[in-house]
Amino acid sequence: MNSDEALLYIRNYAGRLYDPGMVEDFIQVCAACQSDVSLADPAVKVLTTRDVAAGMILARNLNADNGMLLLNAGKVLNGALVEKLIAFEAMEGRSTASL
C-alpha cells in the first residue's frame, strides 16, 4: 500500500478497528509530515482504476506497481485514457495503482 491507501484503510475502519476520534487528526499529522499524502484534502479521493471517470484530474503521479510512470499529476482523464488504464491493469493481471 502507498500512504494514501494505508490512510484510507484506517479511515474506512474508524470505529471498528481504530478510534474514530483520532483518525482524522492522525491523517492531518501524516499529511503534514509526508509529501505523498493527499487524503488531507477532502476534494481528493483515492480510487481504483475501475472507479475513475473522464474529467477527473490526477492529484499526483500515477505509477504502476513496478514504479513505471503512467501519467503525471495534473493530467485530466478522458474516456480513452480510462480505457487504456483498465486494459493495462487487465494485461498486468493485477491492480496497477490507486488513483
Which three three-digit cell numbers place residue 99?
488513483
Q: Are residues 53 and 83 in the same domain?
A: yes
Does 76 map to a domain? yes
Q: Are residues 54 and 23 in the same domain?
A: no
Q: Please tell me the distance from the alpha carbon of residue 99 to that of residue 48, in angstroms, as a whole number.
A: 6
Does 25 map to a domain? yes
Mind listing the pLDDT tens digit for each residue in 47-70? 788 889 999 998 878 888 777 889
Mind listing the pLDDT tens digit for each residue in 88-97? 888 877 554 4
- Say which residue, 2 or 88, is predicted with more confidence: 88
Q: Report the pLDDT averaged over residues 63-82.
A: 88
61, burial (CB in 10 Å: exposed 0-12, middle 13-18, buried 19+): middle
Does 40 map to a domain? no
Q: Which residues of 81-92 are buried (b: 16+ CB within 10 A; e: fewer)?
A: bbeebeeebeee
| pTM attached to this predicted model | 0.56
Whether 44 shows a pLDDT value over 90: the answer reads no
Q: Are residues 60 and 86 in the same domain?
A: yes
Average pLDDT, the chain: 82
Dihedral in degrees, nearest 10, Cα atoms 1, 75, 38, 7? -20
Does 80 map to a domain? yes
Q: How many structural domains does the chain have?
A: 2
Does 39 map to a domain? no
Mapping DSSP onto H, E and C, the string for 18-86 reads ECHHHHHHHHHHHHHHCCCCCCCCCCCCCCCHHHCCCCCECCCCEECCCCCEEECCCCECCHHHHHHHH
What's the pLDDT at 96?
A: 45
Name the residue range of residue 62's domain: 49-92
Q: Are residues 27 and 54 in the same domain?
A: no
pLDDT band (50, 70, 90) for residue 45:
confident
Q: Are residues 53 and 25 in the same domain?
A: no
Does 77 map to a domain? yes
Does 42 map to a domain? no
